[in-house]
Amino acid sequence: EAQVTQNPRYLITVTGKKLTVTCSQNMNHEYMSWYRQDPGLGLRQIYYSMNVEVTDKGDVPEGYKVSRKEKRNFPLILESPSPNQTSLYFCASSLDRGSNIQYFGAGTRLSVL
C-alpha cells in the first residue's frame, strides 16, 4: 500500500530536549516536505527536499533541521524545542515538485511544555 508514515503520532516533551520526527514514503517520490498546521494560520511549509541530499527552507524554518540521506526518509529534527513549536506536523511527498499532488502522512501532534 502506498503511504507516507510518520512517527510518533503524539509526543509530549519539555523545552530544550532534542527530538526527531521520522517520515518515510514507499512511493519512490522525489519531493518531500514538512508542514506545521496551527489554528488560524493554516498549513505552513517548514522545509522541503527536491531529492536526496537536496533540502531547502520553506516559510517557517527557524528552530528546525532536516536531512535527506535516502530517498524514502525525511526526518524533522528539533534541536531545542520551545513551546511555540507546539503544533500539528505533517510530512508530505509527491512525485516531483511540479506535479504537486501531495500525499500526506497521518500527522504528529507535538506539545512542548
Partner 1 sequence: QKEVEQNSGPLSVPEGAIASLNCTYSDRGSQSFFWYRQYSGKSPELIMSIYSNGDKEDGRFTAQLNKASQYVSLLIRDSQPSDSATYLCAVTNAGNNRKLIWGLGTSLAVNP
Residue number, 71 or 97, with CB nearest to partner 1: 97
Residue number, 26 or 82, with CB nearest to partner 1: 26
To partner 1, the closest distance from the beta carbon of 22 in angstroms equals: 16
**SS3 category, 83:** helix
Residue number, 53 or 96, with CB nearest to partner 1: 96
Q: Which three cell numbers stand for residue 65?
A: 533541521
Only one of the segments 21-29, 62-70, 75-83, 92-100 lies at the binding site for partner 1 (rule: CB under 8 A); that segment is 92-100
Instruction: Indicate the burial class of 50 (C-beta count within 10 angstroms; 0-12, 13-18, 19 or more).
Output: middle
Q: Which residue's C-alpha cell is 506536523?
A: 89
Write phi, then psi, for 3 (nearest 5 degrees).
-160, 160
- Say whether residue 24 binds partner 1 (CB under 8 A): no
- Say whether residue 107 binds partner 1 (CB under 8 A): yes
